[in-house]
Amino acid sequence: MTEPIDPAITSKIVQALSSYLKRDPASITESHHLRDDLGLDSVAIIELLFEIEERFKLQIPDQDLPGLSTVGTVAAYVQRRLAESKTESRPESVKPATAAGKSKSAKSTTTRAAAAKSPSTKKAGSVKPAPAGKPKKAAAVASGKKKVASR
């Protein structure tokens, strides 16, 4: 947390809080405690964090909730998570990830081929009973034709 918190992140969090609390955003600072200073209860904190998840397009695991006690800790947490997601997404878009993507597609092709063989085998197994069923249908159709022919 030695890195300064991005004011844009803090601003979005303060906006969410001010909207929820129906307060002037200028009256909310990073040092405000969500429960003690702003009066949020457990449900309100969960609702706020849900709003933050939506605004920043991230998910906050339940085990991280106890550490989010002030506006500043929430902002620092969001900034850290956004930085993590950027660093995680960058390698995926680089060539090694593309190679991994190719191997995944090769694996999925192999998996699809195996799956295609597997249902074919199942179909072949189900084909055996199907001909047994088809003559019945054919017999019913044939008998229907006979009736039509006899009329």
Is residue 16 exposed (0-12), middle (13-18) or buried (19+ Cβ within 10 Å)? buried
Q: What is the mean pLDDT of residues 129-143?
A: 49
Q: What is the mean pLDDT of residues 62-82?
A: 94
The residue extents of the domains of the chain are: 7-92, 95-150
How far is 39 from 49, CA to CA, in rounded Å? 15
This prediction's pTM: 0.57
- Spatial CB neighbours of 56, under 8 Å, sequence gap ≥ 6: 9, 12, 78, 81, 82
Mention the CATH class of domain 7-92. Answer: mainly alpha
pLDDT at 117 over 60: no
CA–CA–CA angle 50, 53, 54 (5° rounding): 90
